[in-house]
Amino acid sequence: MSRILVATDGSPHAETAAAAAKRLFGPESEFIVLTVAHGPTAPSAYPAPMLAPGFDLFPVETQRDIEASVAARAESIVADIASIFGEQAETRVDWGPSGRTICDTAVAVQADVIVLGDHGHGWLGDRLMGSVARYVTHHAPCGIYLHRDPARDESAR
């Protein structure tokens, strides 16, 4: 039985990738649906040296509230995507940088394949925001299925 790690951010691209994974890998596979959550941190626009050691962007109570809200949203995302697979899917919410966390989770669950949706931000978007797909492609401990939505590709032409 193959173990398929479906990484999702809840976007339509990720949902399309999950549906494609179900068709491609079939009911005999075991699906693990993962979303990566991010807690409150200083905006990346501020270089670390500008922040004093021990500086907190938010008070502790606000950080807890934000983390609880993020966790609830993440649980909702994985539940929605897992519903595509029915009872075949395990769900996970892990915290950290997206690409690295996806690769670390693949190791932890002994995934045979990682499934990702490609947002297709383009060259500039990748430079400004980074590319989770690129990171996973270069660091994955297993095979990768990067799903491109043909409908999106047609509308981009």
> Which token pair is 157?
């032409």
Task: Report the domain count for the chain.
Answer: 1
CB atoms within 10 A of CB 27: 9
- Residue 43 has a pLDDT of 46
Residues of the chain with pLDDT under 70: 39-58, 119-130, 150-157
Rg (CA), the chain: 17
Q: How far apart are CA 139 and CA 129, in angstroms?
A: 18
Range of the domain at 119: 3-35+63-87+95-155
pLDDT of residue 136: 92
Residues 110, 95 contacting (CB under 8 angstroms): no
Is 41 part of any domain?
no
If one counts every other C-beta atom within 10 angstroms of the C-beta of residue 55, the result is: 9
pLDDT at 51 (0 to 100): 52
Q: For residue 133, what is the domain's CATH number?
A: 3.40.50.620
**pTM as predicted:** 0.80
Cα(22)–Cα(18) distance, rounded to whole angstroms? 6
* Residues 34, 31: Cα–Cα separation, whole Å: 10
Q: Tokens 């990566």, residue?
A: 36
Please give the pLDDT value at position 52: 52
pLDDT at 134: 85
Residue 40 lies in a domain: no
In a domain? residue 16: yes
Tell me what pLDDT residue 143 has: 96
